[in-house]
């Protein structure tokens, strides 16, 4: 749990978003250099299935762990 004296500000959220965007740009550039378009088209269903599982698990963990039901 977060201590009550810690305050999250909009600047902190913006900084987190900028850092995440920079990391995403680096990963996308690396993937674009490593995976050619033809290979990407072959992987489309594997990527779709993997994304569904990943985001489904992530959403479930977030709901159970952080949402006050």
For the segment 1-59, what is each residue's pLDDT rounded down to a tens digit?
A: 667 788 888 999 999 999 999 999 999 999 889 989 899 899 999 999 999 999 999 99
Separation CA 67–CA 69 (nearest Å): 6
Please give the pLDDT value at position 48: 95
CA atoms within 13 A on the CB side of 26: 6
> How many CB atoms within 10 Å of residue 1?
3
Q: Is the pTM of this model over 0.95?
A: no
Rg over CA atoms, the chain: 17
More confident residue, 4 or 63: 63
Task: Please state the domain extents for the chain.
Answer: 10-66
Phi, psi at 29, each rounded to 5°: -65, -45
pLDDT at residue 69 in the model: 61
């Amino acid at each position: 749990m977060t201590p009550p004296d810690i305050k999250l500000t909009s600047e902190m959220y913006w900084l987190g978003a900028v850092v995440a965007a920079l990391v995403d740009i680096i990963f996308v550039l690396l993937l674009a250099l490593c995976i050619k378009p033809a290979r990407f088209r072959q992987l489309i269903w594997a990527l779709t299935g993997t994304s569904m599982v990943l985001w489904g698990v992530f959403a479930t963990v977030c709901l159970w762990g952080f949402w006050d039901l």
